[in-house]
Amino acid sequence: MKAMIGRTPFSDEPILDAVAVYWSRKRLGRRMADRGEIDPLDLPPAIWPNLLITEPAGASIWRYRLVGSAHVERYGTDFTGKTLHDIMQGSYRDYMTHIYDAAFHDGVPVYSESVFRWDAEGFAMTRRLMLPLSYGETDRPAQVFSVQVWPSAIPVQPRSITELSRSGGFRDGFYLRLDTETFTPLPDQDMPGGF
């Protein structure tokens, strides 16, 4: 797949870049791509394990509809059909809720990075790109299509998201709302969505 033109916050990460290119192509000039036109199998097989699709299940409650195998491997469980509230707690759940809400309610791509304590030895980092999807109505989001990578190595033993999100597990994170055309940060973001 062709790389994004210009410098984006994730231009050094080929998996995020490839999904951004795919979503942009599927937008067909609209505000966002339609869920009916998204087929994860259109992407290279190496990307499939990193994908997620979520949808609202109430006010600021997000249900996982598709969970790639890399997530299942990393956290030791398949959380397809579960909500953020089912599997996360504390400040990490608050952070994840904020970034899903931003992508969905603002209808723009959101890039995020977060760091949490993986084990007693240290912290792990993750990077995400979250992309709104419509479902038949071109300007109304219905789901969020995400891709997530972990640049940090992890130990052999997986840890559940519930365990990682307990007090003291989530260290910090930030997110940026991005321009739909260029994937560059939108102006006038106070923090960049920091936690």
Q: Is the pLDDT of residue 121 over 90?
A: no
Q: Is residue 122 part of a domain?
A: yes
Q: Which residue has the tokens 């006038």?
A: 188
Identity of the residue numbered 134:
S
Q: Is residue 9 part of a domain?
A: no
Q: Is residue 112 part of a domain?
A: yes
Range of the domain at 32: 14-177
> Which CATH number do you get for residue 164?
3.30.450.20
Q: Is residue 4 part of a domain?
A: no
Position 2 scores a pLDDT of 44
pLDDT, the chain, mean: 85
DSSP state of 8: -
Please tell me the pTM assigned to this model.
0.88
Q: Is residue 94 part of a domain?
A: yes
Number of domains the chain is built from: 1
Helices and strands of the chain, counted as H and E runs: 5, 7
Q: Is the pLDDT of residue 177 over 80?
A: yes
Q: Is the pLDDT of residue 117 over 70?
A: no
Q: Is residue 185 part of a domain?
A: no
Higher pLDDT, 152 or 156: 152
Q: In sequence order, what DSSP letters do the residues of 21-54 get, joined into one string?
A: HHHHHHHTTSSSEEGGG--GGGS-TTTGGGEEEE
Q: Is residue 187 part of a domain?
A: no
156: exposed, middle or buried (Cβ count in 10 Å: 0-12, 13-18, 19+): exposed
Sign of CA dihedral 63, 66, 69, 71: negative
Instruction: Tell me the pLDDT tens digit for each residue of 23-38.
Output: 999 998 899 999 999 9
Position 139 scores a pLDDT of 82
Query: How many of the other CB atoms lie within 10 Å of CB of 141?
Result: 22
Identity of the residue numbered 86:
D
Instruction: Tell me the pLDDT tens digit for each residue of 45-77.
Output: 999 999 999 999 998 899 999 999 988 887 788
Distance (Å, whole) CA 170 – CA 90: 9
Q: Is residue 189 part of a domain?
A: no
Retrieve residue 124's tokens.
């792990």
Position 83 scores a pLDDT of 96
Sign of CA dihedral 56, 60, 64, 68: positive
Residues above pLDDT 90, as percent of the chain: 57
Position 154 scores a pLDDT of 61
Position 86 scores a pLDDT of 93
Sign of CA dihedral 141, 131, 175, 54: positive
Identity of the residue numbered 195:
F
Instruction: Tell me the pLDDT tens digit for each residue of 97-110.
Output: 999 999 999 999 99
